[in-house]
Chains A and B, each alone.
Chain A
């Protein structure tokens, strides 16, 4: 039976859209893992000019120096509808499923300790009358087969972007959905802060500055956008062999306290290598809160080596996994535990289309 389209969708002329790649000719709102430029202190372990690869010894990590909980988040989604404001601005509606999971290692096995999945529909809502948005949100939340949470995203900076820029609107919607994933990751982390925990991604995404004596927090960043390194640093990084790391350096948060701006002790670690691997591939950036490094571990680089050894041992070894050279086995496993909880995206999208009264070719 054909559903009555949502008044909101009808009123604003919703039409089906697919997953188009970002258009390169339009400036994008930064949305990567490391969009902020923070201050960097590179002379923590050795003088900037003296940077050389540091080989990680075989010494095993001691209890408390390696993680036993692992946090990973996941986001899947793309625009499925596009509405137009009264002024004709194209507003994509991004349908997403976001989730986060916490795994705990028990002996050499893993147990899923926490998992949360949410379905969200994000879009730039500012241009619409608030009552229309509210009614639409209620409508989406009450559809039993959808149970979608509408997330209003902010308008992009109109001094920088045109309101007719579809990509800018889409990016805003995506950032909002990803933020929701981060919220779930924060929740997964908060469920148990009593044991050393590793988070997939920079720590600043999910936590503020933890107490120096609290259990160790470790962040593993795969995507590197900020230029933390000087020339000698780059040379060191690109010369790393598997099992080597760069010297430790410090990234200083904006105020050192607020969430998203914590200071960290960090280093690049080469997990994998080989003749076919590009020089800029196969390393991750590990980070721990600066206060924990400086106070709890007394700035001990032996701790850095032992933790690095643990990370190398825990690397993913499955060639079939596309990001194997920069992945840790526990995080791959966390992803394996989380992804099956998601609804296949086409199913979700079709439910929304049906709810929206969209049939054959997207007519309303």
Chain B
């Protein structure tokens, strides 16, 4: 049986004002066909002696009538809507296409009258250079118009995990839950791949190992990622179909993640985290933990450290309190009055601050300022900062790969943003120190952090912001990958955004999309970004000439307590088997 001939959508047209370039071309649409924005199309032209194939994405579809102005449009009906001219106006539909790829590489436009076809999944995939990706990860389904797909939407792991670039940044308005979906899905898929490599080559020192650290910033939403999502179950068949298209036959919740929440003031238990209580570990830091971790300066915010005097005093106090070797700092054990916890530190400082010899390089006002700020953070953070305990439960990030993520709650301390920032900085500091000391080949720390605007605000330059900037700029080479998100990238430190090699844009506000940070998206793409569906993301990485519109499959894991199935039903998720199929 012969294959039916491929039907063309239209032909390239390049009259004045619609000239083809090496980046854009236009085509008129056959009147029996429809073309939609985001469809991927192909055409071939003879350029000189070569035949060049072009793959492009429809940026916009236009319709033009045969009338010259609106007056003529009305005249056809004699200005009366009830009129029916004997013949249709029969305008023309045409589309603007951004070229994604040419084969062979040619910086030349397609020529007029070349036939344009809808791309096959293979052609679409080639358009985005999937065939050239070293290690690809399918994260969604590649949109091909409003309802159809052209295969999978892949990102290049060489851009995500550090070889050619690193980090993923997601932008999107609040309320649709789509930023978390993508971030958690990427975590899930990477864990799946790491598990597969572990099974296939357990002795391979270069195999992918992951330590996923997920910060929970809103309610206790991410404390239920080991439970089935009831919404997934409601449309089980279709959702599984989407995952199957990605090569995942058995989507399921995360297996045995470890949950950490701020320790309650005066207790050994964590703060309440919604319906999850039994398997949540508390985290906290005593003064000695702070000194041992080198975290003292992170207790103070930008306003504090921005002042040279106060910053200097913070440094001197830390130095004064620190003993042990440079590699293994310890809280000094001095005489009876040497502070061994935060309360003692406050008392000691209060008692001595008026003496001239006590940190004599600093005036009384500076010492008073230091004391007030330390008192504020210790009082506000009482619980996470153990005011009277000599030992806390500091977060200990593993130094080797693990099979499930660590979920660290920040919502329990949402009333003290400075404390939230401290916790994030403490984790980053620890990871950077670990990786800086001795890097395990193949070990990647995946740090998932929403609300980046809170942790690395655009106009801030404090230690915590600098920490995130350092991670963004240098983390990839040390195996520290930031999977960040925010509602408005324009409010985040540009260096953090710009260093994310893979960027995803969910539905975003039009005001936000007009900011400088979004100029890399064309007008049409920005317009599209303001109208995306909740499950859609525009994915961009340096090898793409235009962003890729992907549908992210609905997550099988709950992203809020309200969507979580009861724990008993979720127990089935605790046996995890790695499917045979290779996603790379």
Which residues does A use to contact B, with CB under 8 Å?
A: 105, 108-110, 310, 313-314, 317-320, 329-330, 333, 336
Contacts and interface: CB of A to CB of B under 8 A. Distances in A.
Contacts of B66: 318, 336
A318 B90 CA distance: 14
B170 to A, nearest CB: 47
A10 to B, nearest CB: 33
A319 B75 contact: yes
B66 to A, nearest CB: 7
A318 B87 contact: no
A84 B76 CA distance: 53
A105 to B, nearest CB: 7
Interface in B524-546: none
Contact of B68 (A105, A109, A313, A320): A320
Contact of A329 (B69, B71, B87): B87
B422 to A, nearest CB: 70
29 contacts: A105-B87, A108-B85, A108-B86, A108-B88, A109-B87, A109-B88, A110-B87, A310-B86, A313-B85, A314-B87, A317-B72, A317-B76, A317-B78, A318-B67, A318-B68, A318-B72, A318-B75, A318-B76, A319-B71, A319-B72, A319-B75, A320-B67, A320-B68, A320-B69, A320-B72, A329-B86, A330-B87, A333-B90, A336-B66
A109 B78 CA distance: 19
Interface string B61-81: 000001111011001101000
Contacts of A109: 87-88, 90
Contacts, number: 41
Nearest to B84: A108
A141 B67 CA distance: 40
Contacts of B86: 108, 310, 313-314, 329
B65 to A, nearest CB: 10
A109 B31 CA distance: 11
Contacts of B72: 317-320
Interface in B380-419: none
Nearest to B31: A109
Contacts of A318: 66-68, 72, 75-76
Given A318-B67, A336-B66, 20 more contacts: A105-B87, A109-B87, A109-B88, A310-B86, A313-B85, A313-B86, A314-B87, A317-B72, A317-B75, A318-B68, A318-B72, A318-B75, A318-B76, A319-B68, A320-B68, A320-B69, A329-B85, A330-B87, A333-B87, A333-B90
Contact of B87 (A108, A319, A336): A108
Nearest to B75: A317
Contacts of A329: 85-87
The 4 closest A-B pairs by CB, nearest first: A320-B68, A108-B88, A317-B75, A318-B72
Contacts of A108: 85-88
Contacts of A313: 85-86
Nearest to A320: B68
Interface of B: 66-69, 71-72, 75-76, 78, 85-88, 90
Contacts of A319: 68, 71-72, 75
B137 to A, nearest CB: 48
Nearest to B78: A317
A363 B69 CA distance: 46
Contacts of B68: 318-320
Contacts of B78: 317
A14 to B, nearest CB: 33
Contacts of A320: 67-69, 72
Contacts of B67: 318, 320
A333 B92 CA distance: 13
A110 B31 CA distance: 11
Contacts of B76: 317-318
Contacts of A330: 87
A336 B78 CA distance: 23
B32 to A, nearest CB: 11
Contacts of A314: 86-87
A317 B72 CA distance: 7
Nearest to A108: B88
Contacts of B75: 317-319
Name, among B67, B69, B87, the residue most crowded by chain A CB atoms within 10 Å (CB to CB).
B87
Contacts of A110: 87, 90
A336 to B, nearest CB: 7
A7 B312 CA distance: 97
Nearest to A319: B72
A257 to B, nearest CB: 34
Contacts of B90: 109-110, 333
Nearest to A340: B15
A314 B67 CA distance: 16
A318 B73 CA distance: 8
Nearest to B90: A109
Contacts of A336: 66
A242 B512 CA distance: 57
A330 B89 CA distance: 11
Contacts of B69: 320
A108 B69 CA distance: 22
A310 B85 CA distance: 11
